[in-house]
Every structure is written in C-alpha cells, then in structure tokens.
Amino acid sequence: MIPPLARLRAHVVAIGLDGIIVPRADIHQSEVTAPHDDCLRWLTGFTGSAGVAVVLADRALLFVDGRYQVQVRAEVDPAAWEIRHLIEEPPADWLRANAARGSRLGLDATRFSCAALDALTAGAGAAGAGIVELDHDPFDAIWDDRPPAPLGAIRAMPDADAGATSADKRARIGAALAQAGADLLLETLPDNIAWLLNLRGSDVPMNPVPHSFLILDRDGGAEWFVDRRKLGNDPAGLVPGGVVLAEPDSFLARVRAVAPGKVALMDPGFAPAALRAAVIAGGGSVLAQPDPVTLAKAVKTPAELAGFRACHLQDGAAVTDFLAWIAQEVPLREAAGHPVTELEAEAHLHHLRSLRAGFLEDSFRTISAAGANAAMCHYTAPATGGAAIGTALPYLVDSGGQYATGTTDVTRTLCLGAGDDALRDAYTAVLRGFLALLTARFPTGTTPHQLDALARRPLWDIGLDYDHGTGHGVGHNLLIHEYPHRFGKKENPFRLEPGLVLTIEPGFYAEGRFGMRIENQVEVVADRPGFCRFESLTLVPIDLTLARIDRLSNEERTALDTYHAEVRHHLTPLVNARTRDFLAAQTKAVGGVGVQ
C-alpha cells in the first residue's frame, strides 16, 4: 500500500506543482474537524487540533504549537517529517527563508482563512515563489476510504435558555452591519450560526454545532445553507422565521450571484479565502473586520449566565465525586497489583457526569494523564488503557461537560504521595499564579494579554514557564474554545467586560517527568465603579498535597479559603455521601498557617 505522503507527492507532481500546503482545518476553520476533514491526520498521523504541513518533493515539514511539541514526536514518523514550531517559526516565515525561487506551491483555499492565505502568499513571494489556489480538494483523489461528510441532527436551543430570540439577534447584527456600512454578513463559523439561529448540532461529537453557511442581510433576513437531512421530519419546527433554506453546495455560487454592488462583511481571520474570491469574482467588495456575531456571542445574556452557574453545580459535584474515587481507589488498587488506568478513570468520570441533571455529552476528550504523560498538554489515553495511575507522581485530569444550559471546563492535579521538592516548588508556583489571576481587579476594558503575566509571575520567579495560553473563552452549550477573548502572551485586543466567560489555567510541564495545571472557569463581573473582577463558576476543590502553604501570602491563603468555603457550601448537599469526608478534608481552611 502506498503511504499517504507518497500519494500526495504523486498528485502534486501530476497537477504540475512543486509542493503543497495542508492545514489542520476545514472550510469552517473548526478546531475539531469531522473525520471527513481530518486530512492532516490521515497524511501524518498527528492527532492534535492545530498544525500545518508543507510538503515538497524532497522535504516534508509539520508545524505544531507548544501544546503538541512532545505529543507530535510520539505520533509522527521522524524519518519522514521535520517538526517545527507553529508560533515561533510560522510556515509563512519558513517559506520566506526557504522556498525555492520560481517554485509553485498549491493549497485548497477553502481550508485557509483570508489572513492565513495572505501571510503564506507574502512569505512565498518574498522568496520568489508562488502560491496556487487549487480548484479541487486534492484529498478526494488520493484518500480511498475517506469518511463521508457528517449529517448530525440539529436541535433547538430554547429562547428562554438563550435569553433572546433568533429574530432579535439577527436584527441586532443587521443593525451592526448597517453601522459598519455593510450590506451582507457572510458567515461560515458553525458556532456563530448556531448562536444566531438558536439551534445546536451534532456533526462532530462534543462540538454541538451544525456545519452550514449563512448569508445575513442588514434587514435581518437570512439564507441558511444546510443539508436538509440534518433537520429531520419537521424542518419548519426548527428553522426560525425570516430564514430561507438552501443547499450547502450552492453557497459560493450564491455569494457570487448576490455580490454585485454589495459590501460583504467577513472576518479575515476565519472566513475562507475562497469566500473572498467569490465576492470579488461576483463584482462585490469585502469589508474585512471582526465578525459582529463573534463579539455579540461572547457577552453572555443573564439567562446564559444563570445556565452556566446551574450546570457548574452539577459538574462540580460530578468531578468532586470522581476525585474522591481516585483518592480512594488508586492506593488500594496499586497495592493490590491491579492499578487504575488512565482510560478507566476517564470512563468513570464520564459515567459520573452522565448521572447529573442536564448533562448531554463531554465538551472535549478528557485529558486523563498520569506521571510523564501529563507533560503532553493535550494527551489522551490510548484504547489499550494508558498508563497506570499511581501514588509516586501527580495525576492530571482536564475535562468538561456539555449541559443543556452551558459548557464546563476544569482541570485538577491530584497527588497521592508526598512529592519531591521539584514537584512542590512547581505546583506552588502554579497555584500562586492561578490565585493571582483569579483574584485580580482590573479596569473595565483591560485586554486579556495585559493580565497574562499575573499568572506567570510566580513561575518566572523560579525560572519556569509554560508554552500555552493562560485561558480562553467558553461557549454557551457551544464550543469549549470560543473566540475572541484569550489570555496569553500574544496580544489579544478584545476588551474584558461583564458577561464574558473564560478559563484561567496556568500550568507547568517537565518533559518525561510530570505535568500539572489548575483550571477554573470564570465570569467577568462588575466590581467597584470602572473596574471588573472574576467570579469563579467552577466549584471543585483544589488539591493542596504538593502546595507549600508556608509560601502563600496572607492574601493568597484567604483567597484559597474563601474559594474552598464556597465549594464546600454548594457541593456538600450534591455530592455522594461517601464523598463528603473527602470534600471536607480538601476544603479545610489553611489561613492559620503563618508565613515562614
């Protein structure tokens, strides 16, 4: 059987090109793609959620970010692929320095955003090379057993849970279009469409959004390009008034048809480059700016925030029951020679969540990672069961649930042994960074990157850091990673204001040894006039086995005790009876310990 890389190279030669660029993306720029669109995984074996391959006749390079630098080397053939850092050396920069003059590199413009294509074109052009936009999907020709496109059922999100009707939302976005001087919004982001229409989908597990496209007029009318088979036997019962159905395959042709004389707004960071080309080919003009739906969706309604709070009570009880089970079972099973495995723990956590009111499915694949596996930020246990969870090294579990009224994301690191000095120093720094950001008060309008260093400072003080963001937005029964707000070193220009829901999740990772992270989901709330603060949505005890309590300031110990008192108050009536002693012990006040 001819390997995928050889097949792709043969196809590139057959169409007269010198190379090809392949992203981990679909036409929607989804972080998690359907199997049909997992082209990079089929080509390389890499299972992460972000990456780009550059395939030439004599070289093949795979660019992944800091979350996957360890994982990718365990999944990809090192003899075939050179591994590069997606952020520190983006493909566009590599092309600028390395592309052969006169070479022609192809790509599928439906899978690259306008911004990404422009960067690649500029990088290649600086080296005297050219980018060729293909008129076909090259993987259709070489991927023999390619899975079909998904047909997940679509369901309604009740207006009462959303806090606004679809008509109200479309009118609001239409007014924003008029103010911006645009006639149309061209929408390809599935979560934006789901939010706008008060619908949810199931094309990709744990990502409750339908794959579709939408054209919105400034008067609030919309054409929705969706496979009707997803709507079941009663489409009229799901499709909001003022929305006309069309087939998804007709989207780009329809854009060309309605484009003449129109100004079409699209977000250059997410809209596929092929969409921009369709507008221009049809005689329209493009207004490239942030999507007004993305910005509106980020600020949750009072009904959405109430739903988040309610589902976090259920989720917190499930996760605490799980941690109590881990604390009991791991030492017993380790001593008996029949240890708990990572996959078994993952399955048990899912079971405990499934017993909770409103639970629908996990919000992402659980990261159940013991010992050195936790050094891979997005590790997932293999079907064989994974490593044994023991008492010598920490166990990291990062998980979440999709509930009818919200989405959860929480990480805890549990240590059932004493831990050495390196573990204790790192964990204490992670905890202090977590508390620093969690308790921050900041002027309304502060941008997320301006606060990122608060979470890193305790790690920096001891010469440590972590190579991922410190937090991200979360959707309302939508995507676990929601744009545009994100804590990180990279500039994020979007203002923090009441109603936003984000995560706070500093960590530290020692390759081949251990990994640790503490994560809570928070909402931004108003504080004193002109200021905001964070209010924790997550209610799960934080394990302090590794923490050097004597290194916490009085303010840090007070914040920890205040949080744990809240956790204990809310969860004691909800957790299993056998969990209550564990909960009481985990949330015991530490404020009486003096600073040494």
* CATH number of residue 310's parent domain: 3.90.230.10
Residue 329 belongs to some domain of the structure: yes
Q: Is residue 553 part of a domain?
A: yes
Number of independent structural domains in the chain:
3
CB-CB neighbours of 170 under 10 Å: 25
pLDDT tens for each residue of 271-321: 999 999 999 999 999 999 999 999 999 999 999 999 999 999 999 999 999
For the chain, how long is the longest CA-to-CA vector?
75
Split at pLDDT 50, 70, 90, the class of 232 is very high
Q: Do 562 and 505 belong to one domain? A: yes
Angle between helices 342-354 and 302-336 (to 10 degrees): 140
Q: Are residues 520 and 388 in the same domain?
A: yes
CA gap 276, 405 in Å, rounded: 35
Same domain as 191, residue 92: no
Cα–Cα dist 468/465, whole Å: 9
Residue 12, pLDDT > 70, answer: yes
121 and 253 fall within a common domain: no
- Residue 540 CB partners (closer than 8 Å, separation 6+): 316, 319, 320, 323, 410, 412, 520, 567
Question: What is the mean predicted confidence (pLDDT) over 17-28?
Answer: 97
Q: What average pLDDT does the segment 220-228 reach?
A: 97
Can you give the CATH number for the domain in which 286 is found?
3.40.350.10
Note whether residue 364 is domain-resident: yes
Strand, coil or helix: 84: strand
Q: What is the pLDDT of residues 351-390, one digit of tens each?
A: 999 999 999 999 999 999 999 999 998 899 999 999 999 9
Coil/strand/helix, residue 299: coil
Instruction: Based on the fold, state whether residues 308 and 289 are members of the same structural domain.
Output: no
Nearest of 86, 76, 46 to residue 380 by alpha carbon? 46
Helix residue ranges per DSSP H, 244-301: 251-258, 273-281, 292-298
Say what percent of the chain tops pLDDT 90: 95
**What pLDDT score does 300 carry?**
98
Q: Taking each helix axis as running N to C, give the angle between helix 421-438 and helix 452-460, from 0 to 180 degrees, rounded to the nearest 10.
A: 160
Same domain, 118 and 71: yes
Domain match, 293 and 310 both: no
Picking from 94, 104, 47, the residue whose alpha carbon sits closest to that of residue 70 is 47
Segment 8-20 shows an average pLDDT of 97
Domain residues for the domain of 384 are 302-586
Same domain, 358 and 480: yes
Token pair belonging to 369: 């990672």
pLDDT of residue 70: 86
Domain end call among 246, 281, 297: 297
Distance CA 201, CA 15 (A): 37
For residues 323 and 386, state if they share a domain: yes
Q: What one-character-per-residue DSSP string does 87-99 give? A: TTS-HHHHHHHHP
pLDDT of residue 595 exceeding 90: no
Q: 593 lies in a domain?
A: no
State yes or no: pLDDT of 84 exceeds 70: yes
Task: Cis check for the bond before 493: say yes or no (omega within 30 of 0).
Answer: no
Cα 460 off chain centre by: 26
pLDDT at 378: 86
Q: Which two tokens stand for residue 161?
A: 């849970």
Cβ atoms 566, 539 nearer than 8 A: yes
283 and 334 together in one domain: no
Considering the domain architecture, whether residues 203 and 82 belong to the same structural domain is answered as no
Which of the listed residues 297, 328, 349 is the one where a domain comes to its end?
A: 297
Element (H, E) at 570: helix 554-571
- Residues 354 and 330 occupy one common structural domain: yes
Quick one: average pLDDT of 260-266? Answer: 98
Interval 443-468 mean pLDDT: 97
Domain boundary among 115, 142, 169: 142
CB 43 within 8 A of CB 22: yes
In a domain, 336, yes or no: yes
Whole-number pLDDT of residue 520: 98
pTM of the predicted protein model: 0.94
> Is position 592 within any domain?
no
CB neighbour class for 453 (10 Å; exposed up to 12, middle 13-18, buried from 19): middle
Least Cα distance to 296 among 216, 202, 379 occurs for: 216
274 within some domain: yes
Indicate whether 149 belongs to any domain: no
Residue 438 to residue 429: CA distance in whole angstroms: 14
Place 596 in a pLDDT band, splitting at 50, 70 and 90.
very low
- Tell me what the mean pLDDT of segment 398-409 comes to: 98
C-alpha–C-alpha distance, residues 49 and 28, integer Å: 14
